[in-house]
Amino acid sequence: MLKIANARAVLDSSVLSTNIYIDGGRIACLSEADLPADTVIDARGRYVAPGFIDTHVHGGGGVDFMGTADDYRRAAALHLAHGTTTLLPTTMAASFDATLRAIKTFQEVAPEAGGKLPHMPGMHLEGPYFSLAQAGAQPPAYIYPPRPQEYRELLAAADGAILKWSFAPEHEGSLEFCDTLVKAGVFPSIGHTDATYEDVLRAHEHGARCMTHFYSAMSSITRRSGFRVLGAIEAGYLLDEMWIEIIGDGCHLPEPLLKMICKLKDNRRIMTVTDAIAEAFLPEGVELPGSGHVIEGGVAKMADRVCFAGSIASTDRIVRTMVKVAGCDLPTAVRMMTKNPAEFLGLRGKGSLLAGYDADLVFFDDSITVDTVMLGGKIVK
């Protein structure tokens, strides 16, 4: 039995000063009582929360999840050090061969997860079935409507490794794509889209229950023949069962917009993500050779500064921003990166400090800076 004493445990809706007992890599109980324990760790009044779950992350430390097995290990380990105990390695729009290689690399590395690497229950494929008008930093050469033979081959090769797949629902063939994903146990997620409300509604009826980086590369209200037509963003608000991802770095979504989202959308349907790219954890001013990106003002920008290239955030930065910028209370900010994604993905035993749940834990101070990380009750940082 392991005892974590003097902890401020971050629960789903409150913070409790208590001891946390761990047995066999799982939480045994939370109790103020002094129960027998073989080992005691003094939390010294620090917050202890469930390990963070990042459902959308591309890489970090100069490498990404389109690279080698060592790239996977490097990026995943860096995110683990900041409190990410579970992540979905995320690809970008690329050729069939490049995507297939990324899947094969995931299959090579995934068995190592949960040791010195975060848990990796599956991959997130971001593209290539997107809208060119909402490409963002995705390469236009690899953006096109769904190709049944292609996605069926990728699903077959993945053999269950793909857990989530982002797409634009306005394309012909998107509903059949949704049906195929749902049948294969993959979560369809709407993103990089110029869809109308009706497009999103139809996809929702075919199993799309999530929206990828809400507001970013996503349609809003337009006029057609004088009439206002709602877009994907409005669908995200109107469809109560729709989950939304938000990049809570304070850059992609500024303070007023973060506050508006949290006011209008049920926070039990909000998942915060890093969407971190290879530049995460690199210093300001650095430009990776050949990337066309520069790190500036806490975000990666295209070299011409016309748009963002991607996020460089860690999960602890996201939680910190949601508290200090968006105005969320701490339990809500933590829940958006723990219980909510665990519930959406159906990850049993993760996301809350409950008896029988995995002892994947993060310790942090009042500034929400992670200093200790546990996987299965073992300290890995």
> In this predicted structure, what is the pLDDT of residue 7?
98
Q: How many helices (H) and strands (E) does the chain have?
A: 10, 23
DSSP 130-147: --GGG-TTS-GGG--S--
> In this predicted structure, what is the pLDDT of residue 90?
98
> In this predicted structure, what is the pLDDT of residue 305?
82
Six token digits for residue 315: 């999960």
Q: Angle at Cα 192 formed by Cα 188 and Cα 194, nearest 5°?
A: 105
> In this predicted structure, what is the pLDDT of residue 287?
75
Q: Angle at Cα 141 formed by Cα 173 and Cα 274, nearest 5°?
A: 85
The domain spans of the chain are 52-347
Long-range CB pairs of 179-184 (<8 Å, 24+ gap) are 179/206, 179/207, 180/148, 180/151, 180/152, 180/155, 181/155, 181/207, 182/206, 182/207, 184/155
What is the rounded distance in angstroms from the CA atom of residue 32 to the CA atom of residue 102? 47
Q: Do 310 and 58 touch, CB atoms closer than 8 A?
A: yes
The tens digit of pLDDT for each residue in 13-66 reads 999 999 999 999 999 999 999 999 999 999 999 999 999 999 999 999 999 999
Whether residue 257 has pLDDT greater than 80? yes
Q: Which CATH architecture has domain 52-347?
A: Alpha-Beta Barrel (3.20)
Q: Do 137 and 310 touch, CB atoms closer than 8 A?
A: yes
Whether residue 284 has pLDDT greater than 90? no
Q: Cα 27 vs. chain centroid, distance in angstroms?
A: 24
The tens digit of pLDDT for each residue in 77-107 reads 999 999 999 999 999 999 999 999 999 999 9
Whether residue 288 has pLDDT greater than 80? no
Phi/psi of residue 11, each to 5°?
Answer: -95, -175
Question: In this structure, which amino acid lies at residue 164?
Answer: K
The tens digit of pLDDT for each residue in 319-370 reads 999 999 999 999 999 999 999 999 999 999 999 999 999 999 999 999 999 9
The tens digit of pLDDT for each residue in 154-210 reads 999 999 999 999 999 999 999 999 999 999 999 999 999 999 999 999 999 999 999
Phi/psi of residue 18, each to 5°?
Answer: -165, 180
Q: Do 364 and 49 touch, CB atoms closer than 8 A?
A: yes
